[in-house]
């Protein structure tokens, strides 16, 4: 592991704008309703103030929901072509403003600028393009004898997005909601809000009708809870921790609204005995540490044959030590800081827990990397000879911490892979595709990747068990925002 120099001061124009102290409601930037307090957003690379935003309240949510309800009748009746054209304009503006959005992401949550440009922004744009394609190819009315099966927009949707993939998760929800004909109220994370505010500006410039898209900043316990409880919201979609997802579902229950949740994960990466370890292990380390390990589907449990443990250990350590940690603005940096102080402290605590529980530390460990004395930087850490019952093998750490767990039989490998309360993602490696497919079929997870394939933005994404319910991306993501109506006699030749 090497480090780059600490960052200098880089300005983010939107952080100094008046829009940070307002909310986007009913097609305009509006002042908070009442005396809103300001929240300080910290640059995780240097622990200094990046800017401040206004924090909303229940009354702000009420205004946003009222605007969305007014807009829904007309927008839900808009044509497929009209909604596709809107998505086209949104997609084009994301690509046009990609550098500005990447800068915001890097400053607000510490992602390396190279990764923001190569992944976070273009993947966010892909969600919009894919929603458009799904819309144009979707049959909203199907015939079943003389009965019509219609799929209709569910209504007003409350969207709650996290701090780790801020723009990516916004478009993963907003784009299919708009494609379905729904109106939305968005609550982005207050810890990384500036890319979402820039997205609101982009939506305005794309010509979204007033009230169709609304944004209210605030905390989960105040704004998020007000959205979940609101009788005027027909659906809640949340990406966040399992704890947050449970609280939202509980708050939503009295109004019997639909709740979709993309929550935590502790994804396994099962390496079968015939794996090409020289290829698979470095790719596995990179996948576990992408976005500084702050991805709910990161494969942070590497499950390997006991006979190959020494080889895997050496390859994994070499891959981790080659990573450059430091200034996210540097083109040489692979890993920037952890996104916020609370998460940095969580990662440090769990590294200490791993050491105390007897896991073998291959590299990394507690504390900041050498030469980085400020900022929420963590050392890329790998533990080996991990036992599946250890806390580091069970709890979501959400940082650059990888566990290597040995197995003796393939059956044991599957048992270890499934020994988790989560079921979001999984990986399987092996040259015998029949065996790899069989193992993939036995893993209880919503998405399984065999031999590190290319990302498929049309593949449904979501979890089993405590990883949530519902699916995002492509046709399956679009259908989450639709209700089903049966109209009997619709195709009858004449009245009886």
Phi, psi for 239 (deg, rounded to 5): -115, 125
What pLDDT digit, counting tens, does each position of 345-386 carry? 999 999 999 999 999 999 999 999 999 999 999 999 999 999
Residue 186 to residues 11, 101, 119, 175, 260: CA-CA distances in angstroms?
A: 26, 18, 22, 12, 15
User: What pLDDT sits at residue 495?
Assistant: 65
What are 477-480's contacts with CB under 8 Å, separation 24+?
A: 477/131, 477/134, 477/172, 477/176, 478/131, 478/134, 478/135, 478/138, 478/176, 478/179, 478/180, 479/151, 480/176, 480/235, 480/237, 480/258, 480/260
Q: Do 200 and 217 touch, CB atoms closer than 8 A?
A: no
Q: Tell me how far apart the alpha carbons of residues 22 and 360 are, in angstroms, rounded to a whole number.
A: 50
What pLDDT digit, counting tens, does each position of 107-155 carry? 999 999 999 999 999 999 999 999 999 999 999 999 999 999 999 999 9
Q: Tell me how far apart the alpha carbons of residues 455 and 464 are, in angstroms, rounded to a whole number.
A: 20
Which is catalytic among the residues 296, 363, 396, 472?
296
The predicted model gives 172-194 an average pLDDT of 98
Q: How many CB atoms lie within 10 A of CB 374?
A: 13
Residues 6+ apart with CB under 8 A from 406: 304, 305, 306, 309, 385
Which is catalytic among the residues 262, 396, 472, 480?
262
Residue 315: pLDDT band (50, 70, 90) is very high
CA-closest candidate to residue 168, choices 217, 105, 112: 105
Q: Tell me how far apart the alpha carbons of residues 303 and 416 are, in angstroms, rounded to a whole number.
A: 8
Q: How many CB atoms lie within 10 A of CB 204?
A: 15
How many CA atoms within 13 Å lie on the side-chain side of 84?
A: 11
In the predicted model, is pLDDT for residue 391 greater than 70?
A: yes
Q: Which residues pair with 461 in a beta bridge?
A: 472
* Helix and strand numbers, DSSP H then E, in the chain: 16, 24
Q: Tell me how far apart the alpha carbons of residues 416 and 266 are, in angstroms, rounded to a whole number.
A: 11
pTM above 0.85, yes or no: yes
Give the chain's domains with CATH numbers: 12-263+469-484 (3.40.605.10), 268-457 (3.40.309.10)
User: What pLDDT sits at residue 398?
Assistant: 97
The yes-or-no answer on residue 296 being catalytic is yes
What pLDDT digit, counting tens, does each position of 28-68 carry? 999 999 777 899 999 999 999 999 999 999 999 999 999 99
């Amino acid at each position: 592991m090497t480090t780059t120099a600490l960052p200098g001061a880089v300005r983010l124009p939107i952080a100094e704008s008046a829009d940070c102290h307002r909310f986007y409601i009913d097609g305009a930037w509006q002042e908070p309703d009442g005396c809103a307090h300001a929240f300080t957003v910290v640059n995780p690379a240097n622990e200094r103030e990046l800017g401040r935003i206004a924090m909303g309240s229940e009354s702000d949510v009420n205004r946003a929901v009222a605007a969305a309800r007014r807009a829904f009748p007309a927008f839900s009746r808009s044509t497929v072509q009209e909604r596709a054209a809107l998505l086209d304009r949104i997609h084009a503006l994301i690509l046009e403003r990609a550098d500005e959005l990447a800068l915001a992401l890097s400053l607000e949550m510490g992602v390396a600028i190279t990764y923001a440009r190569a992944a976070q922004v273009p993947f966010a744009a892909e969600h919009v393009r894919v929603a458009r394609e799904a819309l144009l190819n979707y049959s909203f009315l199907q015939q079943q004898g003389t009965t019509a099966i219609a799929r209709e927009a569910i209504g007003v949707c409350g969207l709650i997005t996290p701090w780790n993939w801020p723009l990516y998760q916004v478009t993963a929800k907003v784009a299919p909601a708009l494609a379905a004909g729904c109106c939305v109220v968005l609550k982005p994370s207050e810890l990384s809000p500036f890319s979402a505010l820039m997205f609101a500006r982009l939506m305005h410039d794309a010509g979204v009708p007033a009230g169709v898209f609304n944004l209210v900043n605030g905390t989960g316990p105040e704004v998020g809870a007000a959205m979940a409880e609101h009788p005027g919201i027909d659906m809640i979609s949340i990406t966040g921790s399992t704890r947050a997802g449970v609280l939202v579902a509980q708050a939503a229950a009295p109004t019997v609204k639909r709740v979709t949740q993309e929550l935590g994960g502790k994804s396994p990466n099962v390496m079968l005995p015939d794996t090409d370890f020289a290829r698979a292990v470095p790719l596995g380390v990179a996948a576990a540490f992408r976005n500084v390990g702050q991805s709910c589907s990161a494969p942070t449990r590497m499950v390997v044959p006991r006979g190959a443990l020494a080889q895997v250990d050496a390859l994994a350590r070499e891959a981790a030590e080659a990573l450059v940690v430091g200034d996210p603005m540097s083109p040489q940096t692979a890993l920037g800081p952890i996104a916020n102080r609370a998460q940095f402290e969580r990662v440090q605590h769990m590294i200490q827990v791993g050491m105390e529980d007897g896991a073998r530390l291959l590299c990394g460990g507690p504390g900041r990397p050498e030469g980085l004395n400020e900022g929420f930087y963590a050392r890329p850490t790998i533990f080996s000879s991990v036992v599946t019952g250890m806390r580091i093998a069970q709890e979501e750490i959400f940082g650059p911490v990888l566990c290597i767990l040995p197995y003796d039989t393939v059956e044991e490998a599957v048992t270890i892979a499934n020994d988790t309360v989560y079921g979001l993602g999984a990986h399987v490696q092996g040259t015998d595709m029949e065996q790899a497919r069989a193992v993939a079929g036995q893993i209880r997870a919503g998405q399984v990747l065999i031999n590190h394939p290319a990302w498929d933005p049309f593949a449904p994404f979501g979890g089993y068990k405590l990883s949530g319910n519902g699916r995002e991306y492509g046709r399956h993501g679009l259908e989450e925002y639709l209700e089903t109506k049966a109209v009997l006699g619709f195709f009858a030749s004449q009245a009886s």
